[in-house]
Amino acid sequence: MLTKNPSTLLGSLLVLFSAGVLYLVSRFSEAAETFRSLSPRFFPEYMGYALLLFGSVIFLQGVRRPRAPVFEVRPSRKSVLQAVSFTMLVGALLYFLPIAGFVVSSCLFMILAQLLLEEKRVLVNLLRTGTFVFAMHYLFSTLLRVPLPRGPWGF
């Protein structure tokens, strides 16, 4: 059953890795949490749970699908162009982040990245973009009090 699809092996490895991360994080100090601030274990613990979730999803997809090859022998021209375009898009985000500000540059990046990955539904694209940018802005500016770049419009 576990050899039905290579995704089951990848998912199993991710679940085991996340279990190791969560075990190591559980041994971190909780002293900072008594002062109502984030402790050093917040981000590694969040990452461990995220890896656990993704590993479980990959494992379950591998169990449900029939056996398939892990990689194509040769990547298609379209996938190579998408990878190069996405890399250039990340470079553009890094360039325009201090100029246009976090909100504007992140919104443009998310919309263009989803179009590049062939998301045709405009409403889904806008909902994902708004949710992600709001969540990241709230996380960094409010919870972590990290100053984010502001554009000429003040946000």
What mean pLDDT is predicted for residues 74-100? 84
Q: How confident is the model at residue 17 (pLDDT cuts 50, 70, 90)?
A: confident
Q: Residue 65 above 80 pLDDT?
A: no
pTM for this prediction? 0.54
Residue 73: predicted pLDDT? 64
Amino acid at 98: P
pLDDT tens, 31-50? 555 555 566 567 778 888 88
Q: Give percent of the chain above pLDDT 90.
A: 17
Whole-angstrom distance, CA of residue 9 vs CA of residue 42? 28
Cβ neighbours, 10 Å, residue 97: 17
pLDDT at residue 150 greater than cutoff 70: yes
DSSP E strands in 1-154: the ranges are: none
Give the span between the Cα atoms of 34 and 37, in whole angstroms: 8
From the list 108, 100, 17, the residue with the least C-alpha distance to 59 is 17
Give me the residue spans of the domains in the chain: 6-64, 77-143
Task: Summarize the confidence of residues 74-93 as an average pLDDT.
Answer: 84
